[in-house]
Structure 1
Amino acid sequence: MNGVGPESYGITEYLLIFITYLGLAFIATFFNVCVIYTTKIRFEGGNATFWESINFARSKIGLIFAWSVIAATVGLILRLIDNMAERAGESGRIVLNILTSVLGMMWSIITIFVVPAMVYHNLGPMDAIKKSVETLKRTWGESLIRYFGLGLIQFLFFLLGIIATFILFFVLAGLGPIGIIITVVIALLYFLGVILVFNVANTVFNTALYVYADTGKIPEGYSRETLQNAFKPKG
Protein backbone atom coordinates (compact mmCIF):
# COMPACT_ATOMS: atom_id res chain seq x y z
CA MET A 1 0.00 0.00 0.00
CA ASN A 2 2.51 2.55 -1.19
CA GLY A 3 0.14 4.71 -3.20
CA VAL A 4 -2.23 7.28 -1.92
CA GLY A 5 -4.91 7.02 -4.59
CA PRO A 6 -8.14 5.08 -4.27
CA GLU A 7 -6.63 2.16 -6.19
CA SER A 8 -4.29 1.51 -3.24
CA TYR A 9 -7.10 1.09 -0.72
CA GLY A 10 -7.11 -2.28 0.97
CA ILE A 11 -9.21 -3.99 3.60
CA THR A 12 -7.53 -2.06 6.41
CA GLU A 13 -8.23 1.31 4.83
CA TYR A 14 -11.86 0.47 4.13
CA LEU A 15 -12.25 -0.90 7.65
CA LEU A 16 -10.97 2.38 9.06
CA ILE A 17 -13.34 4.30 6.80
CA PHE A 18 -16.23 2.13 7.95
CA ILE A 19 -15.34 2.63 11.62
CA THR A 20 -15.17 6.39 11.05
CA TYR A 21 -18.56 6.40 9.32
CA LEU A 22 -19.97 4.23 12.09
CA GLY A 23 -18.74 6.57 14.80
CA LEU A 24 -20.08 9.66 13.04
CA ALA A 25 -23.42 7.98 12.33
CA PHE A 26 -23.73 6.82 15.93
CA ILE A 27 -23.05 10.28 17.36
CA ALA A 28 -25.40 11.98 14.89
CA THR A 29 -28.18 9.45 15.47
CA PHE A 30 -27.81 9.55 19.25
CA PHE A 31 -28.30 13.30 19.38
CA ASN A 32 -31.03 13.20 16.73
CA VAL A 33 -32.90 10.79 18.99
CA CYS A 34 -32.45 13.30 21.83
CA VAL A 35 -33.83 16.14 19.71
CA ILE A 36 -36.74 14.08 18.37
CA TYR A 37 -37.67 12.84 21.84
CA THR A 38 -37.61 16.40 23.17
CA THR A 39 -39.72 17.53 20.21
CA LYS A 40 -42.15 14.65 20.74
CA ILE A 41 -42.66 15.59 24.37
CA ARG A 42 -43.15 19.25 23.42
CA PHE A 43 -45.71 18.30 20.77
CA GLU A 44 -47.54 16.32 23.45
CA GLY A 45 -47.62 19.31 25.77
CA GLY A 46 -44.74 18.30 28.02
CA ASN A 47 -41.28 19.72 28.56
CA ALA A 48 -38.46 17.15 28.54
CA THR A 49 -35.24 18.13 30.26
CA PHE A 50 -31.82 17.70 28.70
CA TRP A 51 -30.98 14.68 30.85
CA GLU A 52 -34.35 13.06 30.23
CA SER A 53 -33.62 13.21 26.52
CA ILE A 54 -30.11 11.84 27.04
CA ASN A 55 -31.45 8.99 29.18
CA PHE A 56 -34.09 8.19 26.57
CA ALA A 57 -31.42 7.99 23.87
CA ARG A 58 -29.32 5.77 26.13
CA SER A 59 -32.29 3.43 26.49
CA LYS A 60 -32.34 3.11 22.69
CA ILE A 61 -28.61 2.52 22.37
CA GLY A 62 -29.08 -0.86 20.68
CA LEU A 63 -31.39 0.53 18.02
CA ILE A 64 -29.10 3.51 17.52
CA PHE A 65 -26.07 1.27 17.02
CA ALA A 66 -27.92 -1.03 14.63
CA TRP A 67 -29.09 1.90 12.52
CA SER A 68 -25.58 3.38 12.59
CA VAL A 69 -24.18 0.14 11.18
CA ILE A 70 -26.64 0.28 8.29
CA ALA A 71 -25.97 3.97 7.64
CA ALA A 72 -22.21 3.40 7.75
CA THR A 73 -22.52 0.45 5.36
CA VAL A 74 -24.45 2.54 2.86
CA GLY A 75 -21.90 5.32 3.23
CA LEU A 76 -19.09 2.86 2.57
CA ILE A 77 -20.84 1.52 -0.53
CA LEU A 78 -21.20 5.05 -1.88
CA ARG A 79 -17.54 5.64 -1.10
CA LEU A 80 -16.61 2.49 -3.03
CA ILE A 81 -18.57 3.72 -6.04
CA ASP A 82 -16.79 7.07 -5.76
CA ASN A 83 -13.43 5.31 -5.80
CA MET A 84 -14.50 3.27 -8.81
CA ALA A 85 -15.43 6.51 -10.55
CA GLU A 86 -11.96 7.94 -9.94
CA ARG A 87 -10.39 4.91 -11.62
CA ALA A 88 -12.85 4.80 -14.52
CA GLY A 89 -12.54 6.59 -17.83
CA GLU A 90 -14.19 9.92 -18.49
CA SER A 91 -17.57 8.50 -19.50
CA GLY A 92 -17.48 5.88 -16.75
CA ARG A 93 -16.64 8.56 -14.18
CA ILE A 94 -19.63 10.64 -15.21
CA VAL A 95 -21.99 7.66 -15.04
CA LEU A 96 -20.72 6.52 -11.65
CA ASN A 97 -20.81 10.05 -10.22
CA ILE A 98 -24.42 10.39 -11.33
CA LEU A 99 -25.17 6.97 -9.85
CA THR A 100 -23.65 7.99 -6.52
CA SER A 101 -25.67 11.20 -6.44
CA VAL A 102 -28.93 9.45 -7.32
CA LEU A 103 -28.40 6.65 -4.80
CA GLY A 104 -27.45 9.14 -2.10
CA MET A 105 -30.53 11.24 -2.78
CA MET A 106 -32.81 8.21 -2.83
CA TRP A 107 -31.34 6.97 0.45
CA SER A 108 -31.88 10.38 2.06
CA ILE A 109 -35.51 10.46 0.94
CA ILE A 110 -36.54 6.94 1.92
CA THR A 111 -34.85 7.20 5.33
CA ILE A 112 -36.09 10.66 6.24
CA PHE A 113 -38.48 9.27 8.86
CA VAL A 114 -36.33 6.40 10.15
CA VAL A 115 -35.20 8.01 13.41
CA PRO A 116 -38.65 9.46 14.21
CA ALA A 117 -40.10 5.97 13.64
CA MET A 118 -37.54 4.54 16.05
CA VAL A 119 -38.47 7.12 18.68
CA TYR A 120 -42.25 7.05 18.24
CA HIS A 121 -42.75 3.32 17.63
CA ASN A 122 -39.59 1.71 19.04
CA LEU A 123 -38.90 0.08 15.67
CA GLY A 124 -35.69 -1.61 14.63
CA PRO A 125 -33.75 -0.16 11.68
CA MET A 126 -35.27 -2.34 8.94
CA ASP A 127 -38.82 -1.88 10.22
CA ALA A 128 -38.13 1.83 10.62
CA ILE A 129 -37.03 2.04 6.97
CA LYS A 130 -40.23 0.25 5.91
CA LYS A 131 -42.26 2.60 8.10
CA SER A 132 -40.52 5.61 6.58
CA VAL A 133 -41.26 4.44 3.04
CA GLU A 134 -44.86 3.52 3.90
CA THR A 135 -45.43 6.91 5.48
CA LEU A 136 -44.18 8.69 2.38
CA LYS A 137 -46.24 6.53 0.04
CA ARG A 138 -49.41 6.80 2.09
CA THR A 139 -49.29 10.55 2.30
CA TRP A 140 -47.75 11.82 -0.90
CA GLY A 141 -47.29 8.91 -3.30
CA GLU A 142 -44.10 7.53 -4.75
CA SER A 143 -43.03 10.57 -6.81
CA LEU A 144 -41.99 13.28 -4.38
CA ILE A 145 -40.06 16.52 -4.43
CA ARG A 146 -38.74 17.84 -1.18
CA TYR A 147 -38.51 21.57 -0.77
CA PHE A 148 -35.24 22.35 0.99
CA GLY A 149 -36.21 25.74 2.37
CA LEU A 150 -34.00 25.37 5.42
CA GLY A 151 -31.11 24.31 3.20
CA LEU A 152 -31.36 27.52 1.21
CA ILE A 153 -31.40 29.64 4.35
CA GLN A 154 -28.43 27.70 5.72
CA PHE A 155 -26.54 28.32 2.47
CA LEU A 156 -27.18 32.06 2.84
CA PHE A 157 -25.82 31.99 6.39
CA PHE A 158 -22.72 30.15 5.15
CA LEU A 159 -22.28 32.72 2.40
CA LEU A 160 -22.56 35.57 4.89
CA GLY A 161 -20.08 33.78 7.13
CA ILE A 162 -17.55 33.44 4.32
CA ILE A 163 -17.86 37.13 3.46
CA ALA A 164 -17.55 38.12 7.12
CA THR A 165 -14.51 35.87 7.53
CA PHE A 166 -12.68 37.57 4.65
CA ILE A 167 -13.54 41.00 6.04
CA LEU A 168 -12.38 40.01 9.52
CA PHE A 169 -9.18 38.54 8.10
CA PHE A 170 -8.22 41.82 6.43
CA VAL A 171 -9.25 43.87 9.47
CA LEU A 172 -7.07 41.78 11.80
CA ALA A 173 -4.24 41.24 9.32
CA GLY A 174 -2.14 43.84 11.11
CA LEU A 175 -2.01 41.64 14.22
CA GLY A 176 -0.03 38.98 12.37
CA PRO A 177 -0.42 35.33 13.43
CA ILE A 178 -2.64 36.31 16.36
CA GLY A 179 -5.08 37.96 13.97
CA ILE A 180 -5.17 34.83 11.82
CA ILE A 181 -5.81 32.62 14.86
CA ILE A 182 -8.61 34.89 16.08
CA THR A 183 -10.21 34.88 12.63
CA VAL A 184 -10.01 31.09 12.32
CA VAL A 185 -11.46 30.52 15.80
CA ILE A 186 -14.35 32.93 15.25
CA ALA A 187 -15.07 31.44 11.82
CA LEU A 188 -15.04 27.88 13.17
CA LEU A 189 -17.38 28.77 16.02
CA TYR A 190 -19.72 30.55 13.63
CA PHE A 191 -19.90 27.75 11.07
CA LEU A 192 -20.24 25.06 13.74
CA GLY A 193 -23.03 27.09 15.31
CA VAL A 194 -24.83 27.42 11.98
CA ILE A 195 -24.52 23.68 11.32
CA LEU A 196 -25.80 22.82 14.80
CA VAL A 197 -28.76 25.21 14.71
CA PHE A 198 -29.93 24.16 11.26
CA ASN A 199 -29.45 20.46 11.97
CA VAL A 200 -31.68 20.80 15.02
CA ALA A 201 -34.21 22.88 13.08
CA ASN A 202 -34.27 20.31 10.27
CA THR A 203 -34.72 17.45 12.74
CA VAL A 204 -37.59 19.22 14.48
CA PHE A 205 -39.29 19.96 11.17
CA ASN A 206 -38.88 16.36 9.98
CA THR A 207 -40.41 15.18 13.24
CA ALA A 208 -43.40 17.44 12.67
CA LEU A 209 -43.70 16.03 9.15
CA TYR A 210 -43.60 12.50 10.50
CA VAL A 211 -46.33 13.17 13.05
CA TYR A 212 -48.48 14.73 10.34
CA ALA A 213 -47.80 11.96 7.83
CA ASP A 214 -48.26 9.15 10.36
CA THR A 215 -51.27 10.43 12.28
CA GLY A 216 -52.73 13.27 10.22
CA LYS A 217 -52.47 15.53 13.26
CA ILE A 218 -50.95 18.99 13.04
CA PRO A 219 -48.25 19.47 15.70
CA GLU A 220 -48.51 22.63 17.77
CA GLY A 221 -46.76 25.54 16.11
CA TYR A 222 -47.27 24.28 12.54
CA SER A 223 -49.97 24.85 9.95
CA ARG A 224 -51.43 22.26 7.59
CA GLU A 225 -50.23 24.27 4.59
CA THR A 226 -46.63 24.27 5.84
CA LEU A 227 -46.57 20.50 6.24
CA GLN A 228 -48.47 19.73 3.05
CA ASN A 229 -46.11 21.91 1.01
CA ALA A 230 -43.00 20.18 2.37
CA PHE A 231 -43.52 17.49 -0.27
CA LYS A 232 -45.36 17.88 -3.55
CA PRO A 233 -46.19 15.28 -6.19
CA LYS A 234 -44.50 15.68 -9.55
CA GLY A 235 -46.71 17.18 -12.17
Structure 2
Amino acid sequence: MGLFRRISIGFGLARRSGRVLRAHPNLLAFPLLGGLAGLAFVMTVFGGLFVADLGSGVVMYATLFVVYVVETFIASFFTAALVAATRETFRGEEPTVRASLAIAWEKRWQLLAWSVIAAVVGVIIRGIEESSEIGGTILAAVFSFAWGVMTYFIVPVIVFEEPSITGMFKQSGRTIKRTWGESLGTLSAISIVTVLLVLGGLGVAVVTFLTVGSTGLPGLVATVVIGGGAVLLAFLVGQALTGVAKTALYVYATDEEAPEFFEDMDFSQLGGGSQRSAGMAGGRI
Protein backbone atom coordinates (compact mmCIF):
# COMPACT_ATOMS: atom_id res chain seq x y z
CA MET A 1 0.00 0.00 0.00
CA GLY A 2 1.46 3.37 -1.06
CA LEU A 3 2.23 6.35 1.12
CA PHE A 4 -0.65 8.44 -0.19
CA ARG A 5 -3.05 5.56 0.41
CA ARG A 6 -1.83 5.36 4.01
CA ILE A 7 -2.30 9.09 4.51
CA SER A 8 -5.76 8.84 2.91
CA ILE A 9 -6.68 6.16 5.45
CA GLY A 10 -5.23 8.42 8.12
CA PHE A 11 -7.57 11.21 7.07
CA GLY A 12 -10.43 8.72 7.19
CA LEU A 13 -9.51 7.83 10.77
CA ALA A 14 -9.15 11.51 11.67
CA ARG A 15 -12.58 12.31 10.20
CA ARG A 16 -14.26 9.54 12.14
CA SER A 17 -12.38 10.57 15.27
CA GLY A 18 -13.93 13.98 14.72
CA ARG A 19 -17.34 12.29 14.90
CA VAL A 20 -16.43 10.99 18.33
CA LEU A 21 -15.40 14.47 19.51
CA ARG A 22 -18.59 16.02 18.19
CA ALA A 23 -20.65 13.42 20.03
CA HIS A 24 -18.54 13.64 23.19
CA PRO A 25 -16.91 17.10 23.41
CA ASN A 26 -15.96 16.48 27.04
CA LEU A 27 -13.04 14.41 25.67
CA LEU A 28 -11.30 17.73 25.03
CA ALA A 29 -11.00 18.14 28.80
CA PHE A 30 -8.16 15.62 29.01
CA PRO A 31 -5.65 17.34 26.70
CA LEU A 32 -6.65 20.65 28.32
CA LEU A 33 -5.98 19.37 31.84
CA GLY A 34 -2.77 17.70 30.70
CA GLY A 35 -1.59 20.88 29.03
CA LEU A 36 -2.35 23.01 32.09
CA ALA A 37 -0.60 20.56 34.43
CA GLY A 38 2.43 20.34 32.14
CA LEU A 39 2.58 24.12 31.78
CA ALA A 40 2.41 24.60 35.55
CA PHE A 41 5.25 22.13 36.05
CA VAL A 42 7.42 23.68 33.34
CA MET A 43 6.91 27.17 34.77
CA THR A 44 7.84 25.91 38.23
CA VAL A 45 10.96 24.14 36.97
CA PHE A 46 12.21 26.99 34.83
CA GLY A 47 11.50 29.39 37.64
CA GLY A 48 13.91 27.38 39.77
CA LEU A 49 16.46 26.96 36.98
CA PHE A 50 16.46 30.71 36.43
CA VAL A 51 18.08 31.25 39.82
CA ALA A 52 20.24 28.11 39.78
CA ASP A 53 23.42 27.35 37.89
CA LEU A 54 23.30 23.67 36.95
CA GLY A 55 26.51 23.74 35.00
CA SER A 56 26.96 20.50 33.15
CA GLY A 57 27.60 16.83 33.71
CA VAL A 58 25.84 14.75 36.35
CA VAL A 59 23.76 17.56 37.87
CA MET A 60 22.40 18.70 34.51
CA TYR A 61 21.50 15.18 33.39
CA ALA A 62 19.95 14.37 36.77
CA THR A 63 17.78 17.47 36.46
CA LEU A 64 16.81 16.53 32.91
CA PHE A 65 15.91 13.05 34.12
CA VAL A 66 13.53 14.42 36.78
CA VAL A 67 11.96 16.82 34.28
CA TYR A 68 11.48 14.03 31.72
CA VAL A 69 9.92 11.71 34.32
CA VAL A 70 7.38 14.25 35.52
CA GLU A 71 6.53 15.58 32.06
CA THR A 72 6.11 12.07 30.65
CA PHE A 73 3.96 11.02 33.59
CA ILE A 74 1.69 14.05 33.26
CA ALA A 75 1.26 13.55 29.51
CA SER A 76 0.75 9.78 29.86
CA PHE A 77 -1.69 10.13 32.76
CA PHE A 78 -4.09 12.40 30.91
CA THR A 79 -3.64 10.44 27.69
CA ALA A 80 -4.57 7.30 29.62
CA ALA A 81 -7.73 9.04 30.85
CA LEU A 82 -8.56 10.07 27.27
CA VAL A 83 -7.99 6.52 26.01
CA ALA A 84 -10.20 5.08 28.76
CA ALA A 85 -12.95 7.60 28.01
CA THR A 86 -12.73 6.90 24.29
CA ARG A 87 -13.16 3.19 24.90
CA GLU A 88 -16.37 3.96 26.81
CA THR A 89 -17.71 5.90 23.82
CA PHE A 90 -16.94 2.88 21.61
CA ARG A 91 -19.17 0.84 23.91
CA GLY A 92 -22.03 3.30 23.46
CA GLU A 93 -21.62 4.80 26.93
CA GLU A 94 -21.19 8.40 28.05
CA PRO A 95 -17.77 8.82 29.67
CA THR A 96 -17.21 11.22 32.55
CA VAL A 97 -14.01 13.11 33.26
CA ARG A 98 -13.95 11.97 36.88
CA ALA A 99 -14.40 8.26 36.12
CA SER A 100 -11.80 8.34 33.34
CA LEU A 101 -9.27 10.08 35.58
CA ALA A 102 -9.96 7.41 38.21
CA ILE A 103 -9.10 4.69 35.68
CA ALA A 104 -5.86 6.47 34.85
CA TRP A 105 -5.08 6.78 38.56
CA GLU A 106 -5.52 3.03 38.98
CA LYS A 107 -2.74 2.62 36.39
CA ARG A 108 -0.44 5.18 38.04
CA TRP A 109 2.34 2.74 38.93
CA GLN A 110 2.54 1.30 35.42
CA LEU A 111 2.48 4.85 34.03
CA LEU A 112 5.23 5.85 36.44
CA ALA A 113 7.36 2.86 35.42
CA TRP A 114 6.89 3.81 31.78
CA SER A 115 7.78 7.43 32.56
CA VAL A 116 11.01 6.44 34.30
CA ILE A 117 12.06 4.22 31.37
CA ALA A 118 11.14 6.94 28.87
CA ALA A 119 13.15 9.47 30.90
CA VAL A 120 16.22 7.22 30.89
CA VAL A 121 15.94 6.87 27.12
CA GLY A 122 15.39 10.61 26.77
CA VAL A 123 18.57 11.38 28.71
CA ILE A 124 20.51 8.86 26.60
CA ILE A 125 19.21 10.47 23.41
CA ARG A 126 20.20 13.88 24.74
CA GLY A 127 23.68 12.56 25.53
CA ILE A 128 24.03 11.08 22.03
CA GLU A 129 22.87 14.35 20.52
CA GLU A 130 25.55 16.29 22.37
CA SER A 131 28.31 13.74 21.72
CA SER A 132 29.13 15.31 18.35
CA GLU A 133 27.70 18.02 16.15
CA ILE A 134 26.33 16.25 13.08
CA GLY A 135 26.74 12.52 13.67
CA GLY A 136 25.27 12.69 17.15
CA THR A 137 22.28 14.72 15.98
CA ILE A 138 21.51 12.28 13.16
CA LEU A 139 21.92 9.22 15.39
CA ALA A 140 19.78 10.80 18.09
CA ALA A 141 17.04 11.58 15.54
CA VAL A 142 17.03 8.00 14.22
CA PHE A 143 17.03 6.56 17.74
CA SER A 144 14.24 8.93 18.82
CA PHE A 145 12.08 8.01 15.81
CA ALA A 146 12.55 4.27 16.36
CA TRP A 147 11.76 4.65 20.05
CA GLY A 148 8.62 6.67 19.28
CA VAL A 149 7.40 4.03 16.83
CA MET A 150 8.05 1.12 19.19
CA THR A 151 6.22 2.80 22.07
CA TYR A 152 3.35 4.28 20.03
CA PHE A 153 0.72 2.11 21.76
CA ILE A 154 2.26 1.99 25.23
CA VAL A 155 -0.51 3.98 26.92
CA PRO A 156 -3.43 1.94 25.44
CA VAL A 157 -1.58 -1.24 26.45
CA ILE A 158 -1.26 0.04 30.02
CA VAL A 159 -4.93 1.08 30.17
CA PHE A 160 -6.48 -2.04 28.63
CA GLU A 161 -4.08 -4.78 29.68
CA GLU A 162 -2.26 -5.86 32.82
CA PRO A 163 1.22 -5.99 31.31
CA SER A 164 4.58 -6.47 32.93
CA ILE A 165 7.20 -3.85 32.19
CA THR A 166 8.63 -5.90 29.36
CA GLY A 167 5.13 -6.98 28.29
CA MET A 168 3.98 -3.42 27.63
CA PHE A 169 6.81 -2.93 25.13
CA LYS A 170 6.20 -6.29 23.46
CA GLN A 171 2.46 -5.65 23.10
CA SER A 172 3.02 -2.14 21.76
CA GLY A 173 5.56 -3.52 19.28
CA ARG A 174 3.18 -6.26 18.11
CA THR A 175 0.39 -3.75 17.62
CA ILE A 176 2.53 -1.30 15.67
CA LYS A 177 3.57 -4.14 13.35
CA ARG A 178 -0.09 -4.85 12.61
CA THR A 179 -0.97 -1.17 12.11
CA TRP A 180 2.33 0.23 10.83
CA GLY A 181 1.04 2.16 7.83
CA GLU A 182 -2.22 3.22 9.45
CA SER A 183 -0.43 4.51 12.56
CA LEU A 184 2.01 6.64 10.58
CA GLY A 185 -0.70 7.69 8.13
CA THR A 186 -2.98 8.73 10.98
CA LEU A 187 -0.20 10.67 12.68
CA SER A 188 0.61 12.47 9.42
CA ALA A 189 -3.02 13.20 8.62
CA ILE A 190 -3.84 14.51 12.09
CA SER A 191 -0.66 16.61 12.06
CA ILE A 192 -1.85 18.18 8.81
CA VAL A 193 -5.32 18.75 10.26
CA THR A 194 -3.81 20.32 13.39
CA VAL A 195 -1.62 22.66 11.33
CA LEU A 196 -4.64 23.72 9.28
CA LEU A 197 -6.64 24.34 12.45
CA VAL A 198 -3.77 26.37 13.93
CA LEU A 199 -3.54 28.41 10.74
CA GLY A 200 -7.28 28.94 11.00
CA GLY A 201 -6.80 30.15 14.58
CA LEU A 202 -4.07 32.55 13.46
CA GLY A 203 -6.42 33.73 10.73
CA VAL A 204 -9.03 34.48 13.39
CA ALA A 205 -6.40 36.44 15.32
CA VAL A 206 -5.49 38.48 12.23
CA VAL A 207 -9.14 39.23 11.42
CA THR A 208 -9.75 40.24 15.04
CA PHE A 209 -6.73 42.54 15.01
CA LEU A 210 -7.74 44.15 11.71
CA THR A 211 -11.27 44.62 13.04
CA VAL A 212 -10.64 45.97 16.53
CA GLY A 213 -6.87 46.47 16.66
CA SER A 214 -7.17 50.20 16.12
CA THR A 215 -8.98 50.57 19.45
CA GLY A 216 -5.69 50.37 21.35
CA LEU A 217 -5.17 48.15 24.37
CA PRO A 218 -8.72 46.70 24.36
CA GLY A 219 -8.27 45.66 20.73
CA LEU A 220 -4.91 44.07 21.49
CA VAL A 221 -6.38 42.18 24.44
CA ALA A 222 -9.29 41.00 22.29
CA THR A 223 -6.85 39.82 19.60
CA VAL A 224 -4.77 37.86 22.10
CA VAL A 225 -7.77 36.32 23.83
CA ILE A 226 -9.74 35.39 20.72
CA GLY A 227 -6.78 34.44 18.54
CA GLY A 228 -5.00 32.64 21.37
CA GLY A 229 -8.18 30.79 22.26
CA ALA A 230 -8.62 29.67 18.66
CA VAL A 231 -5.04 28.40 18.43
CA LEU A 232 -5.35 26.64 21.80
CA LEU A 233 -8.56 24.96 20.66
CA ALA A 234 -6.79 23.78 17.50
CA PHE A 235 -4.05 22.12 19.55
CA LEU A 236 -6.57 20.53 21.91
CA VAL A 237 -8.56 19.12 18.99
CA GLY A 238 -5.37 17.76 17.43
CA GLN A 239 -4.35 16.03 20.66
CA ALA A 240 -7.82 14.62 21.19
CA LEU A 241 -8.05 13.36 17.59
CA THR A 242 -4.72 11.59 18.03
CA GLY A 243 -5.87 9.86 21.22
CA VAL A 244 -9.20 8.79 19.74
CA ALA A 245 -7.68 7.46 16.50
CA LYS A 246 -4.92 5.62 18.36
CA THR A 247 -7.51 3.99 20.60
CA ALA A 248 -9.59 2.96 17.59
CA LEU A 249 -6.55 1.36 15.94
CA TYR A 250 -5.60 -0.47 19.12
CA VAL A 251 -9.13 -1.73 19.73
CA TYR A 252 -9.39 -3.10 16.22
CA ALA A 253 -5.89 -4.60 16.25
CA THR A 254 -6.62 -6.47 19.49
CA ASP A 255 -10.36 -7.19 19.20
CA GLU A 256 -10.54 -7.46 15.39
CA GLU A 257 -13.79 -5.53 15.47
CA ALA A 258 -14.42 -2.00 14.24
CA PRO A 259 -15.49 0.20 17.18
CA GLU A 260 -18.55 2.43 17.19
CA PHE A 261 -18.21 5.52 14.96
CA PHE A 262 -15.79 3.52 12.78
CA GLU A 263 -18.16 0.83 11.47
CA ASP A 264 -17.94 2.18 7.92
CA MET A 265 -14.13 2.17 8.02
CA ASP A 266 -12.27 -0.52 6.12
CA PHE A 267 -9.74 -1.98 8.55
CA SER A 268 -9.04 -4.96 6.35
CA GLN A 269 -5.65 -3.67 5.24
CA LEU A 270 -4.13 -3.30 8.69
CA GLY A 271 -0.46 -4.22 8.62
CA GLY A 272 -0.25 -3.79 4.88
CA GLY A 273 -1.78 -6.98 3.70
CA SER A 274 -3.85 -8.72 6.32
CA GLN A 275 -7.20 -9.80 4.98
CA ARG A 276 -8.76 -10.76 8.28
CA SER A 277 -11.69 -8.43 7.72
CA ALA A 278 -12.06 -8.50 3.98
CA GLY A 279 -15.82 -8.44 4.27
CA MET A 280 -15.93 -5.21 6.20
CA ALA A 281 -17.05 -1.89 4.76
CA GLY A 282 -16.46 -2.76 1.13
CA GLY A 283 -13.10 -0.99 1.00
CA ARG A 284 -14.43 2.40 2.04
CA ILE A 285 -12.16 5.05 3.51
TM bucket (normalised to shorter chain) is: 0.7 to 0.9
* Percent of aligned pairs with the same amino acid: 29
Q: What is the rounded CA distance, in whole Å, between the counterparts of 1:195 and 1:108 in structure 2?
A: 20
Give 1:116 deviation, angstroms. Answer: 0.7
Alpha-carbon spacing, 1:232–1:9, altered in 2? closer, same or farther (3 Å): farther
Give 1:153 deviation, angstroms. Answer: 0.8
Give 1:158 deviation, angstroms. Answer: 1.8
Aligned to 2:144: 104
Q: Show structure 2 runs of 5+ residues with no match.
A: 1-54, 274-285
Q: Show structure 1 runs of 5+ residues with no match.
A: 1-7
Aligned residue identity for 2:109:
G
Aligned to 1:205: 245
Aligned to 2:227: 187
Moved more, 124-133 or 55-64: 124-133
Alpha-carbon spacing, 1:44–1:67, altered in 2? closer, same or farther (3 Å): same
Aligned residue identity for 1:99:
L
Alpha-carbon spacing, 1:133–1:186, altered in 2? closer, same or farther (3 Å): same
Give 1:71 deviation, angstroms. Answer: 1.9
RMSD over aligned Cα, in angstroms?
2.7
Aligned to 1:222: 262
Give 1:177 deviation, angstroms. Answer: 4.4
Within the candidate set 14, 23, 30, 2:61 is matched to 14
TM-score normalized with structure 2 length: 0.66
What is the aligned residue count?
217
Within the candidate set 166, 188, 191, 1:151 is matched to 191
Aligned residue identity for 1:97:
T
The answer to whether residue 81 in structure 2 is matched with residue 43 in structure 1 is: no
Aligned to 2:25: none
Residue by residue over 1:39-78, the C-alpha shift from the partner in whole angstroms, topping out at 9 and shown as x without a partner, is: 2222233333221111111111111111111222222222
Q: What is the rounded CA distance, in whole Å, between the counterparts of 2:105 and 2:183 in structure 1?
A: 34
Alpha-carbon spacing, 1:77–1:223, altered in 2? closer, same or farther (3 Å): farther
Residue by residue over 1:24-43, the C-alpha shift from the partner in whole angstroms, topping out at 9 and shown as x without a partner, is: 21111111111111122222
Moved more, 219-228 or 125-134: 219-228
Q: Higher relative contact order by CA 8 Å / sep ≥ 6: 1 or 2?
A: 2
**Pairwise mapping of residues 17-166 of structure 1 onto structure 2 (< 5 A)?**
17-85=64-132, 88=133, 93=134, 95-137=135-177, 139=178, 146-147=184-185, 148-166=188-206
Following TM superposition, the consecutive aligned residue runs of length 4 or more in structure 1 with deviations greater than 6 angstroms are none
Aligned residue identity for 1:35:
L
Q: What is the rounded CA distance, in whole Å, between the counterparts of 1:18 and 1:56 in structure 2?
A: 26
Give 1:107 deviation, angstroms. Answer: 1.6
Q: What is the rounded CA distance, in whole Å, between the counterparts of 2:190 and 2:248 in structure 1?
A: 14
Q: What is the rounded CA distance, in whole Å, between the counterparts of 1:124 and 1:145 in structure 2?
A: 24
On the 8 A contact 1:146/1:232 being kept in 2, the answer is no
Aligned residue identity for 1:118:
I
Q: What is the rounded CA distance, in whole Å, between the counterparts of 1:53 and 1:212 in structure 2?
A: 21
TM-score normalized with structure 1 length: 0.79
